[in-house]
Structure 1
Amino acid sequence: MAERSADNLLDQCISPHVAMAQRDHVRLDWQPPYGALARVRPVAWTCTCRATFYELCEGGGQAFIRRTVQLDDKPEISETYRWLIAEARLVWTALLAGRVR
């Protein structure tokens, strides 16, 4: 097996990519950022090499998914409903698999 150089590893994506949306995927309700949680932090994210990337954000016992669409002039950010953390993690897994969008 050929060894990979450090330069090749730096050129590769290390965060996951979202799978293509399945034909029967569930549509999430995307809203402008709500900002109600004082302290929130991303705990998982998709690769930023795509025009749209996602972050699973948690804070105060709640969680939501943030979507960023990278546009030429400025990014367009939207967020989902707030769920309990366990529920949000299930939705996050479904997003990565293409079952929700």
Structure 2
Amino acid sequence: MNDVLGECLSPHVAAMRRDCGRLQWHLRCSGRRRVRVVAWTCPCLATVYELCASGGRAFIRRTVQAEPVPMICETAWGPPREAWEIWASLLTGRVR
């Protein structure tokens, strides 16, 4: 995918819309569970998002690449269909 930021292979999150909804972010809680990352945004920006799944549930993980330690938060876990809908809204700038 060739975009404004160069030869990035993963999508970038669109700019927030005026009517952008707010997601509730919680400190990382999946630290000891095995999760599968099924989709992700480009790591060339400071904030990276991942759509994760585990045990029939799914959630969005947000990583702010900060020094010396990245800050990792997650949305609530829920049905995969809902997580995919949130993921689509995130990518199109409808939620943040």
Root-mean-square deviation (Å): 1.4
Name the structure 1 match of 2:54. 59
- TM-score scaled by structure 2? 0.89
Which residue, 7, 11, 36 being the options, matches 1:16? 11
Q: Residue 31 of structure 1 aligns to which amino acid in structure 2?
A: H
Which residue, 37, 40, 43 being the options, matches 1:45? 40
Query: CA offset at residue 74 of structure 1?
Result: 1.3
- Residues of 2 paired with 1:75 and 1:50: CA distance? 13
Name the structure 2 match of 1:82. 77
- Residues of 2 paired with 1:57 and 1:73: CA distance? 24
Query: CA offset at residue 86 of structure 1?
Result: 0.7
Distance verdict in 2 for CA 1:75–1:36, change over 3 Å: closer
Name the structure 1 match of 2:93. 98
- Residues of 2 paired with 1:78 and 1:26: CA distance? 17
Name the structure 2 match of 1:7. none
Extract unaligned runs of 5+ from structure 1. Answer: 1-10
Structure with the bigger percentage of helix:
1
Which residue, 26, 30, 45 being the options, matches 2:21? 26
The answer (yes or no) to whether the contact 1:37–1:60 under 8 Å persists in 2 is no
